[in-house]
């Protein structure tokens, strides 16, 4: 499954506590090398293409690698089906 997206297109919504990649989202962070979008604002908004997501199982992934629960369940079901019809070879 391809999970590519453009910076301003195909927006996906995710939040702390949502299930993703077989775990739960623990935190969402800006990359360390980013700066505030507007220096004169108190707003935390930044110019960055990707966010870093920490999962409860300890993994840290980029938001474009995120597979939300519905997609994850569909992948697991497909993998199980393929394994069953191939006799466990796949």
Question: Which neighbouring-strand residues pair with 28?
Answer: 53
Does residue 51 fall inside a structural domain?
Answer: yes
Is 42 inside a domain boundary?
A: yes
pLDDT, tens digit (0-9, with 9 covering 90-100), for 27-62: 998 888 777 777 777 766 666 778 899 999 999 999
User: What pLDDT score was predicted for residue 66?
Assistant: 86
Distance CA 43, CA 62 (A): 22
In a domain, 72, yes or no: yes
Can you tell me the distance from the alpha carbon of 75 to that of 66, in angstroms, rounded to the nearest whole number?
13
In a domain, 23, yes or no: yes
pTM here is 0.62
pLDDT reported for residue 60: 94
The span from the first CA to the last CA of the chain, in angstroms, equals 17
> Is pLDDT larger for residue 15 or for residue 55?
55
Q: Does 11 reside within a domain?
A: no
Structural domain including 56 reads 19-85
Note the pLDDT of residue 47. 67
List residues bridging with 53 in a β-sheet.
Answer: 28, 61
In a domain, 31, yes or no: yes
* pLDDT over 80 (residue 90): no
The predicted structure's pLDDT at residue 8: 41
């Amino acid at each position: 499954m391809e999970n590519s997206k453009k910076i301003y297109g195909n927006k996906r919504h995710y939040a702390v506590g949502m299930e993703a990649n077989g775990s739960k989202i623990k935190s969402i962070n800006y990359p360390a090398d980013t700066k505030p979008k507007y220096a004169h604002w108190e707003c935390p908004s930044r110019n960055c293409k990707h966010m870093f997501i920490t999962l409860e199982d300890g993994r840290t992934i980029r938001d474009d690698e995120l597979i939300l629960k519905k997609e994850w369940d569909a992948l697991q079901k497909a993998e199980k089906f393929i394994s069953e019809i191939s006799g466990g070879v796949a």
